[in-house]
């Protein structure tokens, strides 16, 4: 679902990718509509880097992120499968097992898009 990033979303994106100077996707030319796909596809250097970036989020930010994933407004369809696994694992560890499994189900149902 397309959305306009809120101030909170932009702050989280900047926390995850401080080098993000522009809210426009280089690949599509459109403004970012989600938090995680740009981090996964444009800023994280590898799986370890993606995990370190996610670890910057506090528990409240992780809960918020899981809520927008579960309500369908945060897209997971274009994040790399390895990054989805990292996200699920961190949610299970820091939020709850149940939330992690729900996010896994959303990711699996979203289909995967590769760049």
Q: Is residue 63 part of a domain?
A: yes
Closest to 43 (Cα-Cα) out of 80, 7, 75, 8: 80
pLDDT at position 27, please? 62
Q: Is residue 31 part of a domain?
A: yes
Percent of the chain at pLDDT > 90 equals 70
- pLDDT of 43-85, one tens digit each? 999 999 999 999 999 999 999 999 999 999 998 978 999 999 9
Q: Is residue 115 part of a domain?
A: no
Q: Is residue 37 part of a domain?
A: yes
DSSP 103: H
How many domains does the structure of the chain reveal?
1
Direct distance between the N- and C-terminal alpha carbons of the chain, in angstroms, rounded to an integer = 19
**Is the predicted pLDDT of residue 25 greater than 70, yes or no?**
no
Model pTM score: 0.88
């Amino acid at each position: 679902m397309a959305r306009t990033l809120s101030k909170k979303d932009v702050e989280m994106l900047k926390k995850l990718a401080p080098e993000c100077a522009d809210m426009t996707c280089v690949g599509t030319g459109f403004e970012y509509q989600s938090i995680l796909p740009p981090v996964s596809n444009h800023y994280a250097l590898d799986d370890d880097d993606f995990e370190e970036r996610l670890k910057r989020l506090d528990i409240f930010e992780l809960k918020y992120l899981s809520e927008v994933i579960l309500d369908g407004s945060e897209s997971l369809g274009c994040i790399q499968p390895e990054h989805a696994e990292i996200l699920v694992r961190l949610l299970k560890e820091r939020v709850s097992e149940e939330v992690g499994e729900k996010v896994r189900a959303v990711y699996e149902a979203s289909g995967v898009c590769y760049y």
